[in-house]
Each structure stands twice: as C-alpha cells, then as structure tokens.
Amino acid sequence: MTRPDPDAVPTILTVTANPSLDRTLELPAPLHRGGVQRATAVRAEPGGKGVNVARVVTEAGLHARALLPARTGDPLLTALDAVALPYVALSTNSDVRSNITVVDPDGTTTKLNVPGVPFDADGARRFLELIVAGAAGTRWVALCGSLPPGLPDTWYRTVIDELAGQGCRVAVDTSGAPLSATMNGHADLLKPNEEELAEATGLDPAPLVAATARGDHAPVAAAARTLAERTGATVLVTLGAAGAMLITEAGAWFATPPPIVPRSTVGAGDAALAGYLIAESRGDTEPERLRTAVAYGSAATALAGTQPPTPEHLDRRGVHVVDLTPDGPRSRATPPTNPITPPPIHRR
C-alpha cells in the first residue's frame, strides 16, 4: 500500500485528548480474581480512540492525522513512529498513561484505565488552537474518547463551536456528560453504543441491552431516532456482536456482522467509526457506509489487542443490511458497491 504524503492536508483528522499506551494480556483461562495467572501473549500498542480510528483510516489508504497531547520522546510517540502514523503532539511534561486490557479465551475483555495527564487552562487553550488550525481543509474531524482531568465536560462542545464555519464535518465518539454536552452542538455524526445512547436520551440502558439480546431492535431504533431529531446528527449505534444501526434524515438501517472468532473487543467501536468515515469519504451510499462500519468492527474483534484491521481483513459481503425506514423493512443484502466520486461537503 502506498501511504499518502504525511505533510498533505488529511482527509480525516482525529482528536484524542486522553491517549494511552495500550497493553493487552491474553489468558489461557478466564480471569480469576485474586489468583495468579500467566499470560499466553502480551501486546503493547499506541492507543486512545482517535489514534485507533486514524490507524484504521491510514491502513485503508486514506490520509489521516492524529492530534494528541504527549511529551517529546514519549513511548506512545515512538510507537506511532513505528507504525508510520502521521500525528501532531501538544507538548506536555508528563508521560502518557498506560491502560491494561485482559482478554479471556472467549474474547471477553476486562479493561483497567487510568485517568490520564491533567490539562491546565493554558494547555487546553493551546490544544484547541491546534485542533482548529489542523482542521483547515479536512473533510472530517473526529473527537474521540474520554476527557482527561482538567478539561470540563463541555470541552467537546467548545471544540464543535470553534469548528463551525470551517467547512469540515464533525464526528463525536464519547460517553457520559461529555456526550450529553454536545447535544446542541451541531455535530454531524454521533457514534454511541447502547449504554451511551441510553445516557444521551435519558433512558434506562438495561431494557435496550435486553431487547437487543433477544433480537428486538425497535427500542434502540426509537432511541436513536430521538437522538437524531434532537441533534440533527446522523447516529451510528454500535451493538457489539449484534451489529450496528444507522439513523439519518433519509432513513434507518440495521446490519448484522459476518461470523467471526472473537479475540478482543477493544477498539472494535473505533474501527466501526473509521469504517463509516472511510465509506463516507469515498462517496458510498448510507447502507454501504453501515456495511463497511460493521465489516471493520467485526474484523477488529477477530484481531488480538488493538491491531487496526486492513481492507484485506474485511468480509463486507458477509454483512447483512436491512432497511428499517417507515415505509417497511426491505432487505439490502445486495453486493456492495463503492462509488468513486464523493458527495460535496455540507457547509455549516
């Protein structure tokens, strides 16, 4: 694969305010609390949701650049250099955090995340300036992950407001109060999972999760439509092994994944977001964007650690897409298409 010029304006800019060096331990038996267990494999990879998205996009041959805070010489930046991912780092005085993921043989993951490097007011201002400058000429800016200490819950909303009028589209993948704060911020794409969708719409997540588990996707569809109507954004809901749902002004679609052997769910949602952005940037139709998102999320689940899936890992034909628009569900399990000419960018 020929990689784009790292100095060129990226198609997709990702923002990771709380990056990490991800360490993954694979166990030969289920995690036993209080016991002593030996890992069969250990991986250390550059991480953070926006970093994961940028790596997947780059592997697909599109130009991505990651923005993140890290000191010069930090092991995370060394790891990014090793995988040739273009990035711009806001200089800090502390090491980037290390997160630990423990993976059982059936793919069940247990994550241990630490808070991250704190921001002060000056650091927050400089990082915002870096984002606004980096967004010039890009198609998408993806705001991804949790916020570190020192950044208020409204920080993503502030970034969205600063990007208004830049000509780029904004995707948001976060949870809790930072997600709720973006509700009136004119984001173009929101990517919650079931629990995050429930949080954003004021619902109890347990019924949504239970409904999905028994194959009833109407509650999730109703909640996603509510979120889309409140925000004016496209909503991509990732549903784990059940697949994903896409709600837009034009309609609603649900997609089930191809059969896989799960190894790690870490980064699967990030890969799904990357898949959507890749397909949208290439001008695919909305059902095909969902198909690609699910194909990427599934491929990531079949890989160890937070390895970015490549196009060679995808089974797009194994993804079944169903139209859920009000005029009646229609199967869209047709061969995938890939138009070349992208649609014009919406100017806010």
Mean pLDDT of 259-285: 93
Q: How far is CA 206 from the centre of its chain?
A: 23
291 SS3 class: helix
What is the C-alpha separation between 307 and 44, in angstroms, rounded?
10
- In tens, the pLDDT along 125-183 reads 999 999 999 999 999 999 999 999 999 999 999 999 999 989 999 999 999 999 999 98
Q: Please report which confidence band the pLDDT of residue 119 belongs to, taking 50, 70 and 90 as the band edges.
A: very high
Above 60 in pLDDT, residue 337? Answer: no
Q: Which two tokens stand for residue 136?
A: 């010039």
Above 80 in pLDDT, residue 340? Answer: no
Report yes or no on 223 lying in a domain.
yes
Above 90 in pLDDT, residue 325? Answer: no
Task: Please state, rounded to an integer, the average pLDDT across all residues of the chain.
Answer: 89
What is the C-alpha separation between 182 and 189, in angstroms, rounded?
11
pLDDT at 281: 96
Catalytic residue (choose from 22, 74, 188, 270):
270
Q: Which two tokens stand for residue 21?
A: 């060096």
- In tens, the pLDDT along 10-34 reads 899 999 999 999 888 989 999 988 9
Report yes or no on 6 lying in a domain.
no
Comparing 97-101, 153-157, 251-255, 323-327, the range with the smallest average pLDDT is 323-327
pLDDT at 6: 60
- Provide the domain limits for residue 228: 12-30+39-331
Report yes or no on 2 lying in a domain.
no
pLDDT at 343: 33
The residues facing 23 across adjacent strands are 44, 100
- In tens, the pLDDT along 212-241 reads 888 898 999 999 999 999 999 999 999 998
Mean pLDDT of 295-316: 91
Report yes or no on 220 lying in a domain.
yes
Pairing of strands 140-144, 12-16: parallel
Report yes or no on 5 lying in a domain.
no
Q: Which residue has the tokens 């697949």?
A: 243
89 SS3 class: strand
Mean pLDDT of 265-294: 96
What helix, strand, coil percent values describe the chain, rounded to 5?
35, 20, 45
Here the CATH number for the domain that contains residue 266 is 3.40.1190.20
327 noted as active-site residue: no
Mean pLDDT of 308-312: 94
The structural domain count of the chain equals 1
Above 80 in pLDDT, residue 344? Answer: no
What is the C-alpha separation between 46 and 304, in angstroms, rounded?
14
Above 60 in pLDDT, residue 124? Answer: yes
Above 70 in pLDDT, residue 318? Answer: yes
What is the C-alpha separation between 131 and 189, in angstroms, rounded?
18
pLDDT at 45: 87
Out of 111-115, 177-181, 182-186, give the one with best mean pLDDT.
Answer: 177-181
Please report the sign of the dihedral spanned by the C-alpha atoms of residue 99, residue 50, residue 315, residue 322: positive
Report yes or no on 347 lying in a domain.
no
Report yes or no on 52 lying in a domain.
yes
- Proportion of the chain above pLDDT 70, given as a percent: 92
Q: Please give the model's pTM, rounded to 2 decimal places.
A: 0.88
Q: Which residue has the tokens 């976060």?
A: 174
pLDDT at 43: 85
Report yes or no on 93 lying in a domain.
yes
Above 90 in pLDDT, residue 294? Answer: yes
